[in-house]
Chain A
Amino acid sequence: CSDEKLAEINEDPNRPGNVPTPTILLTAEKQIMDNIRNENFSLRGTMLFAQYYSQNIYTDQSRYDIPRSYSDVFWANSYKALNNLNQIIKLNTDELTKSVASAGTAGSNANQIAIARILKAFTFHSLTDVFGDVPYESYGNKDPEFEALQQNPDNYTPVYASQEKIYVDILNELKAAGDTLLKYKGQNTFGSSDIIYAGSNEKWAKFAQSLRLRLSTRIRVKLPAVSEEHFSDALAKGVFTSNADNAAFKYSSGAPNEAPLYRATVTANRKDFAVSHVLVNVLKGELGPFKTADPRLPRYALPNERQIYIGQPYGLPLEAGGINGPTAISLPGAIVNAPDFAEVLQEYAEVAFLIAEYNNWDDASYRKGVEASLTKWGIDGATAKSYADALPAANKENVLTQKYLALYTQGLEAWSEIRRTGYPIFLVKPGDVVWSRQTENGIVNYTFQPIFGNGIPKRLYYPNKEQNVNREHYQQALARQGDDVITTALWWNK
């Protein structure tokens, strides 16, 4: 039998060897969103850390017993998306494939690369905010410490880059990619395969600049000069100016592409995620600096069966978690729980709050941010304006607390901001009584007692798989950053 015949038998009939780059972009966008809003990582992780949600059964995660498998999945899926984005870059770079990659409506090589770089920046930023030092890779910077995603020659055990280097490089990547897209802002890239912006270069450019605001604010204390340089440059080049600019991934109503919360509740047929008493009480005006009813409450939460809003007490001990059945408390609102919910990467309200902070708690930006948040949730302009107008003046607490309210559903970013700023100050702390219940034997007080750690986690554990297959570099990262526990602060939070 000839070699040709044998080789032909081994040609895989089930999988293609070449596909158009927009089909890979769609995959990467969905992988990023699925991952950051994953049922475990988000709903049993960051959404609890931010105390937006509260578990009404199996309250272990709300008390910070976080299975390490959450880390394995989040980590693996992040790099999977990154590898797909790198493949788009490779196909647009390699002389053999670049002309095919840009054929038809896919967009120019340079624009495809720029959009891939922005999504990579977003993904690495999420990764480092969760773990700290992680293996990193950069399109524009061949720093020898950046060993992730190295194929041909392969590097199966990349070193962890320091968070400081990662932050600086992400900012540079966003700047470079944003500049490219600004230059070709009239062009369209990836077309309808781009679920986030339907291919608008101009909007991608604004997203790159807006992310720079977020990242440079995060490291302002650590690297004031770098922070200032990027913030002012991004502002000058044009950031989000309205909700029309928001970066969001709108899910589909068709199985299996529904939004993560929908799949975790309706598809999985569970009701484990309730809105926490912290958020409900704040929105009612009973807790926190704002003493008025917030029109977002009916959007964020469902009333219980008696048509009133009751938040599930956050972080109850196991034996009390289920006393309020799912029909007695507020579950996530109908918009949030819709199959085609648009999950946000970044939105205008956040940008307005970042500008307010940058301008020393500027009142105008603060009120714009609040109005934008309300209208984004479908509240009419007049109601939104009157709510915003009635708020107390901008100051650190008010701006950061309104930002917290606006970041609802974006668990990771809310958690990162809580870690950075310490606001809002009304969040439940260990030892706080979260619920007092009248029983036949008198009043029972339930206090918040974490199983692990001593407060809101500072980070997540590294994945078990890294301990198994990349142990040497994992241990190097610990030597630099601190032990692999949830109480170790990240570089920008030290």
Chain B
Amino acid sequence: TVLDENTQPIAGASVLVKNTTQGTQTKSDGTFSLEVADNSVLVISYVGYQPKEVVVGDEQKIQVSLVPDNQLSEVVVTALGIKREKKALGYVVQDVSGDVLNTRPTNALSAISGKVAGLQIIPSGGNMGGSTRVLLRGIKSITGNNQPLYVIDGTPIDNADLNTASTIGGSAGKDVGNMIQDLNPDDIENISVLKGPSAALYGSRAANGVILITTKKGNNKEKTEISLNTGIELEQIVRLPKRQKLYGQGYSTEFPQATINGTTYNIVDYAADESWGPRLDGTPVLHWYNLDPGYPEYLNPEPWLYPEHDVNYFFRTGIANTNNLAIAGSSGKTSYRLSYTNKNVRGTVPNASLGRNTLSFSGSTGLGKVTISSNLNYVKNNSTGRPWTGASNRNIMLEAFQWGGVQVDYKKLSDYKRPDGTPRPWNRTGYRDTPGDRATRFIDNPYWSAYESYLEESRDRLYGNVGVSAPINSWLNLSGKVYADIYQYQYQDRIAVYSRSQSMYQEYSNNFHEFNYEFLATANKQWTDFSLSGLVGGNIRDANRRVSDLQTGGPLVVPNYYDLRNSSGILANNGHGLFREQVYSIFGSFSAGWKNMLYLDGTLRNDWWSTLPTNNNSFYYPSLTSSFVFSELEGIRNIPWIDYAKFRLGWAEVGNGAAPYSLAQLYSSLPAFNGQPSYTQPDIMNNPNLKPELTSTWETGFEFQLFKNRLGLDVTYYNNRSRNQTIAVPTSDAFGYQQKFLNAGLITNKGFEVILTGAPIKNDRFEWNSSVNWSLNRNKIARLYEGISTLELNNTLVSLVAQEGESYGQIRGYDFVYAPDGQRVVQEDGTYLRTSQMTDLGTVLPDYLVGFQNSFKYKNFTLGFLIDARVGGHFFSQTYKVGMYAGILDRTAANNIRETGIVVDGVKADVQFNPDGSYNVTNTRPNDTRISAQTWARNEYNGPTTFSVFDATFVKLREITLGYNFQLKPDGVIKTLGINAYGRNLWNIYTKSKYIDPEFTNSGGNIQGIEGGNLPIPATYGLNVNVKF
């Protein structure tokens, strides 16, 4: 019998009589039988284990235990869950152990930021879930989501972005997050990132790479292990834009006055929701809260000062409490793991909370030769009061940092409702006590929005698989599995009666299920110098989504009654309907190895898509990868400081289908008009001649392990070409449609990834491990479509385009006009002139990314930190732009500018604009026109867009962890006990933009680099205790 380090049988191990060709392989129970002469030497080997030689005496039975090979023979999970020796792979697979998830973020993926080369993760702010954008090796699909495929224990997981277009564009909405946030960090054993050709076997959805997640399993140790993990996390909103503290609400430095009951008072300029008003010098004034009869402060003027409780009072410390209990064990051929996690979150804004319960089961049992295994997960999510983004009247960033009166006291605001049920706004319509004047003019009291006009969400999700696997003989295995991902996501949104916007109630529900039926036949055979394995398989994918999105037609009739019938009508929103697609696939692969030195792998897959035209719905795509472990060569094997060296080369192609219903031209229905039906041509023109998309990748690289594995280097170069992408290409609206589905574009991504790992210090007491991940990606739109050289991605807050010959995600806007000597041109009125046509203002893509990870181990202590940097790239900030306009940001009150005004830097000149966008500047002369602070600040709003475009470079201390493992008696009740403290996003070591944290996202999609009022990424602190029995 051949056993592994856990005394489990090894099937398929090779047993050879030394110096002969006689040999065999072990069976599934690890046994083998061989008749040999006495004193023969058996060589027993298996991938990932050190070969062992055994001298056979006259015994009838021998038992051999193999020891795992050192890290060079590390086994990694590859496509379809197949475990492979890392050295045999002709591509990079980077894996991250579940230990890094000790920080247990609400969105598990944010914990691997900076830990994988070429992987860019942009988290959303806060512990309430929300989108995490994950990008592997740049943008390949121009308008698609570019998100990698997530596979959990073989189950492909839907990661749809359910956000609305306006949320994605940053203009207004709530980031409900993508669906991968349902993943429970406590159940993750390992995350493997497949970046290049490695993903080809997964088919079309793997064109952007695959993130393979393996969950924890039963331990096969004939004993029951119970583990308990409990943690608490605190979260603080930090790095908010700086507000000025010198001037309050209003447009003019003088107070308006009002005579009430015969007395004349200073009042606030209620026409303004800006802070260009009187200096905060303590003058007595009737504030908004002095105008409500029945309150003690009524008609009692109070000083005009910066408030004791400013907007920071609104934010509270978020608290997340997570408890996980897991039981794992095995008995005979049966093993199991059952885990339950409960998470309760109190958000950082009032009335925000989230609850998540996860139940996870995995198990397998043997029935004779057949193994039955299953993995099931049930997740239930509930949230209330998710924060809003963009120009929404319910977004605190808009309410306090884009607009507002800085003198407003938030503690006073928290008493937000009058006894009659109406709100108490700081932004009244007027000072008098009439219903009209009491009403909110522009911006709701944020407490009113939080407690009365909030969103409620729930999501129930079941995912997992059931499968059978049976060996036919020593080298052939058959298996069948059904994978399912089923969820129901729903939300109820409401705007209360008496709010600034018309009241409404909305019910949204999104029912999704996807089933994958997979059949696999795998074969494995080993000879002395040669190994061969292969598989053939088939998969049917059946996905189905039903969306119901209804909302009230007119205002709500009865306050505080939230029902679709509580208004004059019900409207169905866009996106309402049923969406279905099926893909049938067959695929095969082989892997051949020679002398543990040369490896060649190939795959081929054919798909049939329901979403493509019948004459074009079938397509195949191959991959071929190779690995050459040249440290096995005689000449190199003897060099003592080279432990391992490998060269790899691979190529792959992956095809993709289209979105459902993109072919035939159809009408859209509009709400009936006085009972008359109304239909329209859609905005997007369909295309009956769509073709499959194709992405091909070349990848090559070297890997070294040197100095007894103290230093490791892994360098990869890749070249990725995506063509024939199915894009809803924006056309001139004068075409009749705003977009048309076309197979357009050739987009290339070339890049380097370097992983440097080292163990500078390693002894019995102290260990220091360090790694650097560096990646550079150069993206280029080589071609779009005949006649179309610019693709407009977004045009709400700012223009974001993809242009031929440039990299993706170019911000376009109006620039300064420059004189020949480089000085900015100023208009006659003393403000900056803007160009008359838009011009490129920078790409949103970074130049390179760096992650620097360190871990230290001293006795029972562990300490780790991660520095994460992004260099280059730009973003546009609406918060900055509006915050300047409205006199909120501290720049608008710095250096006495409101008293003295300013003469801006630049020259006056005669400017002639040409039809091609160029201009001639002549007759320059000095600018001596002094302008007011308001005029100056508003020029930043309506003048050159350049003012609001910033460099996105940052260096952040992403994570710091400190752990202690108690030394316990091995036979005690408690087997292990560990405490782990951590902090995330504690320190922005460097950010080039001084006002807005450059790290934000509105969605998991491609529209990035547009800041529309995002909550900054908070700082978090946490403590976890982990006990195993």
Complex formed: what's the CA distance from A446 to B673 in Å? 45
Report whether A319 and B733 are in contact in the complex, using a CB–CB cutoff of 8 Å. no
Shortest B580–chain A CB gap in Å is 5
Residues of chain B within 8 A of A135, CB atoms compared: 732, 734
Q: Looking at the complex, which of B105-113, B224-232, B343-351, B569-577 is the stretch in contact with chain A?
A: B569-577
Q: Which of B722-776 contact A (CB under 8 A)?
A: 729-738, 740
Q: Contact: B736 with A149, CB < 8 Å? A: yes
Do residues A6 and B666 form an inter-chain contact, with CB atoms below 8 A?
no
**Chain A positions within 8 Å of B860 at CB level:** none
A475 to B540 alpha-carbon distance, docked (Å): 51
Q: Which of A3, A19, A158, A257 contacts B735 (CB 8 A)?
A: A158
Known contacts A269-B502, A327-B430, A483-B836; is-contact A464 B799 (Cβ 8 Å): yes
Contact present for B674 and A252 (CB under 8 Å): yes
Q: Is the CB of B436 within 8 A of A327?
A: yes
Kindly list chain A residues whose C-beta atoms are within 8 Å of the C-beta of B576: 14
B636 within 8 A of A: no
Contact residue among A72, A83, A150, A318 (Cβ-Cβ distance under 8 Å from B934): A318
Max count, chain A CB within 10 A of own CB: residue among B582, B679, B682:
B679
Which residues of B in the span 765-803 have a Cβ within 8 Å of any Cβ on A? Answer: 785, 787-792, 795-796, 799, 801
Residues of A within 8 A of B670 (CB): 27
Beta-carbon contact of B730 and A465 below 8 Å: yes
* Stretch from A359-367, A368-376, A400-408, A466-474 contacting the other chain: A466-474
**B251's contact among A13, A79, A322, by CB below 8 Å, is which?**
A322
* One of B256, B571, B667, B915 near A323 (C-beta < 8 A): B256
Q: Are B678 and A26 in contact (CB under 8 A)?
A: yes
Q: What 0/1 readout, one digit per residue, does chain B (676-687) give for beta carbons within 8 Å of chain A?
A: 111111110100
Decide yes or no whether B283 CB sits under 8 A from chain A: no
In the complex, whether B500 has a CB less than 8 A from a CB of chain A is: yes
Closest residue of B by beta carbon distance from A483: B913
What's the minimum C-beta distance from B495 to chain A, rounded to whole angstroms?
Answer: 10
- Across the interface, which residues of A come within 8 angstroms of B799, CB to CB? 464, 467-468
Asked if A383 is an interface residue, CB under 8 A from chain B, the answer is no
The CA-CA distance from A155 to B434 in the complex, in Å, is 58
- CB pair B553–A255 under 8 Å, yes or no, is yes
For the complex, is B204 an interface residue (Cβ under 8 Å from A)? no
B667 touches A16 (CB 8 A): yes
Residues of B within 8 A of A268 (CB): 501-502
By a CB distance below 8 angstroms, the chain B residues around A479 are 915
Whether B678 pairs with A14 at a CB distance below 8 angstroms is: no
Given known A80-B683, A325-B270, contact A469–B673 (CB-CB < 8 A): no
- Tell me whether B837 is interfacial, beta carbon within 8 Å: yes
Is B812 an interface position by the 8 A CB rule? yes
Give chain B residues whose Cβ lies under 8 Å from the Cβ of A15.
Answer: 577, 661, 666-669, 682
A321 at the interface (CB under 8 A from B): yes
CB contacts (< 8 Å) of A17 on chain B: these are 664-667
Q: Is the CB of A83 within 8 A of B430?
A: no
> Does A229 interact with chain B (Cβ within 8 Å)?
no
Q: From B256, B609, B681, B838, give the contact of A467 (CB < 8 A).
A: B838
Q: B34 to nearest A CB, angstroms? A: 48
Contact partners of B796 in chain A: CB under 8 A? 69
Cβ contact within 8 Å between B942 and A60: yes
Q: Is B578 within 8 A of A14, CB to CB?
A: yes
Interface members, chain A 237-262 (any B CB < 8 Å)? 252, 254-257
Please give, as numbers and ranges, the residues of chain A lying within 8 Å of B269 by CB-CB distance: 322
Query: A192-222 interface mask toward B, CB cutoff 8 Å, 1 = contact, 0 = none?
Result: 1101000000000000000000000000000
Which residues on the B side are within 8 Å of A23 (C-beta)? 676-679
The answer, yes or no, to whether B518 is at the interface (CB within 8 Å) is no
Chain B CB within 8 A of A30 CB: yes
Number of interface residues of A (CB under 8 A): 89
B578 partner residues in chain A, CB cutoff 8 A: 13-14
In whole angstroms, what is the CA distance A149 to B735 when docked? 4
Contact A12–B251 (Cβ < 8 Å): no
Contact with B along A84-95 (1 / 0, CB 8 A): 101100000000
Q: How far is the CA of A478 from the CA of B913 in the complex (A)?
A: 10
Q: Determine if B456 is an interface residue (Cβ-Cβ < 8 Å).
A: no
Task: Please tell me if B968 contacts chain A, counting CB pairs below 8 Å.
Answer: no
Shortest CB-to-CB span from B585 to chain A, Å, is 11
**A426 sits at the interface (CB 8 A):** no
Q: Which residue of A lies closest to B677 (CB)?
A: A23
B181 within 8 A of A: no
* Residue B955 is within 8 A (CB to CB) of chain A in the complex: no
Inter-chain contact A158/B734, CB cutoff 8 Å: yes
The smallest C-beta distance from B508 to any residue of chain A, in angstroms, reads 16
User: Does A10 have its Cβ within 8 Å of any Cβ on chain B?
Assistant: yes
Specify which chain A residues have a CB less than 8 angstroms from the CB of B732 in the assembled complex. 135, 156-158, 465-466, 469-470, 473
For residue A292, CB closer than 8 A to chain B, the reply is no
Contact status A13-B577, CB under 8 Å: yes
A210–chain B nearest beta-carbon distance, Å: 25
C-alpha gap A277/B441 in the complex (Å) = 23
For chain A, residues 1 to 56, give those with C-beta under 8 angstroms from any C-beta of chain B. 1, 3-4, 6-7, 9-19, 23-24, 26-27, 30-31, 56
The yes or no answer to A76 lying at the interface (CB within 8 A) is: yes
Does A57 sit at the interface, judged by CB under 8 A?
A: yes
Query: Does B73 sit within 8 A of A, measured CB to CB?
Result: no
Report A133-154 CB contacts with B as 1/0, cut-off 8 Å: 0110000000000011111001
Q: Is B917 an interface residue (CB 8 A)?
A: yes
Does B582 contact A76, Cβ atoms closer than 8 Å?
no
Docked CA distance A463–B730 (Å): 13
Question: Measured between alpha carbons, how far is A96 from B789 in the docked complex, in Å?
Answer: 36
- Mark the stretch among B472-480, B610-618, B974-982 that contacts chain A: B610-618
Kindly state whether residue B560 has any CB partner on chain A within 8 Å. no
Residue contact A321 to B271, C-beta cutoff 8 Å: yes
Query: Whose C-beta in chain A lies nearest to the C-beta of B614?
Result: A3
Cα–Cα, bound, A24→B679 (Å): 5
A82 touches B (CB below 8 Å)? yes
Smallest distance from the beta carbon of A446 to chain B beta carbons, Å? 12
B133 shortest CB reach to chain A, Å = 23
Which residue of chain A is the closest to B665 with respect to CB atoms? A17
CA distance A57 to B676 in the complex (A): 38
Query: Considering the chains assembled together, what is the distance between the CA atoms of A258 and B138 in angstroms?
Result: 47
Contacts of B388 in A (CB 8 A): none
Chain B CB within 8 A of A267 CB? yes
B314 within 8 A of partner (CB): no
Cα–Cα distance between A146 and B655 once the two chains are bound (Å)? 39
Which of B580, B729, B734, B736 has the largest number of chain A CB atoms within 10 A? B734
Asked if A105 is an interface residue, CB under 8 A from chain B, the answer is no
Contacts A12-B661, A252-B674, A467-B838 hold; do A322 and B272 have CB atoms under 8 A apart?
yes
A485 within 8 A of B: yes
Task: Give every chain A residue within 8 A of B663 (Cβ-Cβ).
Answer: 10
> Does residue B161 face the partner (Cβ distance < 8 Å to A)?
no
B362 at the interface (CB under 8 A from A): no
Q: Closest B-chain residue to A75, C-beta based?
A: B733
| Given known A156-B735, A255-B568, A319-B934, contact A269–B500 (CB-CB < 8 A) | yes
Interface string of A155-187 (1 = CB under 8 A from B): 111100000000000000000000000000000
- Flag whether A432 is at the interface (Cβ < 8 A): no
Q: Closest residue of chain A to B670, judged by CB?
A: A27
Instruction: Annotate A268-295 by CB proximity to B: 1 below 8 A, 0 otherwise.
Output: 1101000000000000000000000000
Contacts of B581 in A (CB 8 A): 9-10
| B737 proximity list for chain A (CB < 8 A) | 83, 151
From B501, B567, B942, give the contact of A269 (CB < 8 A). B501
A-B residue pairs in contact (CB < 8 Å), sample of 14: A3-B614, A12-B666, A76-B733, A80-B683, A80-B733, A156-B731, A157-B732, A195-B676, A255-B553, A320-B251, A464-B795, A469-B732, A471-B789, A475-B915
Please give me the 6 A-B residue pairs with the lowest Cβ-Cβ distance, nearest first. A322-B271, A14-B577, A319-B251, A135-B734, A83-B736, A255-B553
- Interface of B toward A, CB cutoff 8 Å: 251-252, 256-257, 269-272, 276, 429-430, 434, 436-437, 500-502, 540, 553-555, 567-569, 571, 576-582, 584, 608-611, 614, 617, 660-661, 663-671, 673-674, 676-683, 685, 729-738, 740, 785, 787-792, 795-796, 799, 801, 812, 836-838, 913, 915-917, 934, 938, 942
